[in-house]
A and B are shown apart, each in its own frame.
Chain A
C-alpha cells in the first residue's frame, strides 16, 4: 500500500469516570475503550465486532469526535483530528458520517423525509433550497427510493426503508468515511440482506472508507475486508476477513464464530459455548481479560491436563475464591465435581491428588483450606496480559493477522494439538 490510510486510529482510549459518595469523587474508571489501533483505507471496509459492552460503539463515536477521547490519537487524511481548528473540524465532520443502529429513532417524526435528509446540507451552509432538493432526490434515488418519498413522513416507511433514508442522509454531504453502527441488527434477515447489498454497492460506487460495527460475524463476513475483534475495550484479534474466519486465532473469535446459528441441522452440537456475560468493565479481570470465560485457558505446566478438565477445575477454583460455594449445597465430594463438570478422575495423578483433597474440603465446608489447595491450579492467563502486536510491525508478517492470546506466542504445534 503506497497511499497512507484515510483513517488511522492509534491507542485510542475512552475512560469514563465512576463517581460515588456525597462529594461525587472519582473513585474509579470504566475503561470502555482501552488502547485500540487500526487503519481504514479508501474503498475499504473494516469491521469492529464483539458482544454488547465490548466498547465497539464507543470506539465508533469516539473516533468521529462525538465523544472526546481520553487518550490516543485519531488521524484523518494525515491530520490529527484533536488538533483541528474549528473550521477544519467542520470539514472533518462533513467528510466523516455515521449511521446509527435503530432507524426508528433516527428521525424527527415532525419532519418529512426530504427535510430530514436536507438538514445536513443546510447545517453545512448550502442555502439554496432548490439545490438542496436536487441533492436530496439524488441521494434518495441512490438508496432505492423515489422523489415522491421526500414528501412523506418517517412513520410511513418500514424499518428497512428508514435505514435506507438514514443512509441517504449520511451520503448527501458526499463523505469520504462512513461509520455504520449495527446497521441491520434491528431488521429481518431478508431486509438485512438488502441493506448490506446496498452498502456494498454504495461503497464500490463512491469509493467510501467504511467502519462497520456489528455483533454479528455473519454480517461482518459479508461486507468487510478486514476485521477487528474487540473484547472489553481491547482489540484481541485483527486480520483480513477470510483469514480470520478460516483460522480464528483468539479463542474469543472462535467462540463468536461458533455462536452463529448455521442453517444446517446436522451441525447442532459442536458449538463452543461461552459461559457468563462480559465482565464489569469498571473491574476487569487481571491478566488476559477473557480468561474467566475462555475454553482454551492454559493449564499450569506442572500438570498434564485435558483442556475441558482444566476449565472446569478453574471454574471451581474461582467460585471457591469468590465465596460462591457453600458446603450445604453439595451432597458429598462427587456432587461438587458434578456441579462444576469436573471429571470423576483427572488424567494427571498429581493434579488428581490436589483436586481430590480440595473437593473433600469444599464438601466438608473447609473453604479456606480448599482455596489454598486449589491455588495450585493457577493459569498463566490470570496474570500475564497478552498484547496485540502493533499494526506496522505486523504488516506483511504472519499474514498481518495478530491475536492477543498467550497461545499465539507459543509454538503453533501446541496450539493445534490443543484443538484435537
Chain B
C-alpha cells in the first residue's frame, strides 16, 4: 500500500494552565489515505478538535506544546517553515468548522469571502475568481448563486451558511478536507443534506476527509474508517463496517448504546470525563468502565491488539465474526490480551 496522505504519529498537545498541565492529546496515531473518509469520534474533551487543529498549526505555539509527527504527503507539518505551513492550511488542507455562524465574517458578503479564499491561494483575476466563486456556490447547492453572491451571511439560513463555508474550503481544491463537527449545529434534515453534499463532493474530487463528530450515527453515514478517542488517547480504530458489526472497546459500546432513541433506552455511560490535568493511570476509561478489572488501573495506556479471539481453544471467546477479522481493527483494552478471556465475559454482561 502506498504511503497515506496524512500520517499522524504519536501526536501530543499539552496546554499550561493555572490548574496544571492539560494533556489534551496524548500520543495519538492515525492516518488518512487519499480519497477516504476517516472519522474521529469522542465526547467533548476527548481531544478530537485539538488533534485536528494541530494538523495545520491552528493552535499557536505560544499556548501549547506540540510533539509528534504530522506528515502530509511527505512533508512534516510540525517541522516546516511558516510559509510551507501556510500554503497547506486552507490550501491543500481545507477546514470546515462546527459553527458556520462564527466561520463567516458578518461585514463582508458571502461572495467576497469565497473570492478571498480563492485568491489567497491562487493568482487569478478578480473577475475569474468571481466566476469561480459563483460556480462553487452553485455546486454546494445555493440556489440563484449569482444573486446570493452579494448577500451578507445574516441573510443565509444555518444550512446555507454551512454550504458557503464548504464552498470556501473547497475553493483551493484541497486534497484533504478537515470537517470538525460540520453538522452539529444544524437540524437533522439539514444535517442530512450537508452530509450528502460532502459525500458527493468527495467522490467528485477524489478528496480525502477527516471528519470529527461525537455522533456514531453520523459515522455510519459517512465514514470509511473510524478512530475512537477518549481523554486524549485512541481507544479503538477500525473500518466502519467492522466497528459497527463488532465494537470491541467498552467505551465504543457505551457510545453506541447511548444514542438517543437509537441505542438502548436510557443507557448512559455514567460518571464524567477525567480531570484533564490528572488523568487516571492505566486505561483512562477504567473509572467509568463496567468491565474494568484490576489490571486496567495500572501502567500506561493499554497496547493495541486485534480484537480477534486470542486463544485457539476459546472458540466462543468472541462474538461471532465468521473468522474474518478486519486487518486494521485495533483496540486498546487489556481485556483483549492473553490473560483475559474477556470477550466472552463482556458479551454475557452486555446481554
Q: Which residues of A does B touch, CB under 8 Å?
A: 51-52, 158-160, 184, 188-194, 196-197, 200, 215-222, 255-256, 258-268, 271, 273-277, 324
- A54's nearest neighbour on chain B, judged by CB, is B187
Q: Which residues of B does A touch, CB under 8 Å?
A: 43-44, 143-144, 157-160, 187-193, 195-196, 214-221, 223, 240-241, 244, 254-256, 258-263, 265-269, 272
Q: How many A-B pairs fall under 8 Å by CB?
A: 130
Contact between A271 and B262, CB atoms less than 8 A apart: no
Residues of the B chain whose Cβ atoms lie less than 8 Å from the Cβ of A255: 189
Q: A189-B215, A267-B220 are in contact. List 10 more A-B contacts (CB 8 A).
A: A51-B189, A191-B44, A192-B260, A193-B267, A196-B260, A261-B191, A261-B195, A263-B262, A265-B223, A277-B159
Complex CA gap A265/B256 in Å reads 13
Contact between A193 and B189, CB atoms less than 8 A apart: no
Query: Which 5 residue pairs of A and B lie closest in terms of their CB atoms, listed nearest first?
Result: A218-B261, A261-B217, A221-B261, A193-B258, A197-B266
Query: Within the complex, which residue of A159, A193, A264, A274 is in contact with B260, where a contact is CB–CB below 8 Å?
Result: A193
Interface-central residue, B218, B260, B269, by most chain A CB under 10 Å: B260
Contact between B187 and A190, CB atoms less than 8 A apart: no
Query: Within the complex, which residue of B144, B191, B192, B254 is in contact with A190, where a contact is CB–CB below 8 Å?
Result: B254
Residues of the A chain whose Cβ atoms lie less than 8 Å from the Cβ of B143: 276, 324
Report B99 CB to chain A, min CB distance, Å: 11
Complex CA gap A153/B88 in Å reads 42
Report B119 CB to chain A, min CB distance, Å: 26
- B239's nearest neighbour on chain A, judged by CB, is A265
Contact between A277 and B261, CB atoms less than 8 A apart: no
Jot down 22 A-B pairs with beta carbons below 8 A, ordered by A.
Answer: A184-B260, A188-B214, A189-B216, A191-B43, A193-B259, A215-B187, A217-B261, A218-B260, A218-B261, A218-B262, A220-B261, A222-B261, A222-B265, A255-B189, A259-B192, A260-B217, A261-B192, A262-B221, A263-B244, A263-B262, A265-B221, A324-B144
Known: A197-B268, A222-B266, A324-B143. A262 touches B217 (CB 8 A): yes
Contact between B260 and A261, CB atoms less than 8 A apart: no
Residues of the A chain whose Cβ atoms lie less than 8 Å from the Cβ of B219: 263
Contact between A261 and B261, CB atoms less than 8 A apart: no
- B188's nearest neighbour on chain A, judged by CB, is A259
Residues of the B chain whose Cβ atoms lie less than 8 Å from the Cβ of A259: 188-189, 191-192
Contact between B215 and A217, CB atoms less than 8 A apart: no
Residues of the B chain whose Cβ atoms lie less than 8 Å from the Cβ of A216: 188, 260-261
Report A368 CB to chain B, min CB distance, Å: 20
Residues of the A chain whose Cβ atoms lie less than 8 Å from the Cβ of B220: 261-265, 267-268
Report A206 CB to chain B, min CB distance, Å: 17
Residues of the A chain whose Cβ atoms lie less than 8 Å from the Cβ of B240: 265
Contact between B43 and A263, CB atoms less than 8 A apart: no
Complex CA gap A276/B265 in Å reads 32
Residues of the A chain whose Cβ atoms lie less than 8 Å from the Cβ of B262: 218, 260, 262-263
Contact between A188 and B269, CB atoms less than 8 A apart: no
